[in-house]
Amino acid sequence: MPNRADFDAANASYVAGFSAGGKPMPPKRQALVIACMDARLHPEKALGVEIGDIHVVRNAGGRAVDALRSVTISQQLLGTTEIYILHHTDCGMLTFSTAQLQGIVKERLGADDGTVYHEFSDLEQSVRDDVALLRASPLVAPGTPITGGVYDVHTGKITWLE
Footprint on residues 132-151 left by a second copy (CB under 8 A)? 138-139, 141-142, 145, 147
Q: Are 125 and 61 spatial neighbours (Cβ–Cβ below 8 Å)?
A: no
φ/ψ (deg, to 5) at 84:
-120, 125
In the region spanning residues 5 to 34, those forming contacts with a second copy, defined by CB under 8 A, are: 6-11, 13-15, 18, 20-23, 25-32
- Among candidates 67, 27, 61, which has minimal Cα distance to 47? 27
Give whichever of 101 and 123 is closer to a second copy, judged by the CB atom. 101
- Closest distance to a second copy from the beta carbon of 54 (Å): 6
Task: Name which of residues 64 to 83 contact a second copy (CB under 8 A).
Answer: 66-70, 72-74, 76-78, 81-82
Query: 71: alpha, beta or left, given left = phi > 0 and alpha = psi -120 to 50?
Result: alpha
For residue 153, give Cα distances in angstroms to 60, 94, 109.
Answer: 15, 14, 32
- The site for a second copy, by CB under 8 A, has a size of 91
Smallest distance, Å, CB 99 to a second copy? 14
Site for a second copy, residues 45 to 64, rule: CB under 8 A: 45-49, 51-60
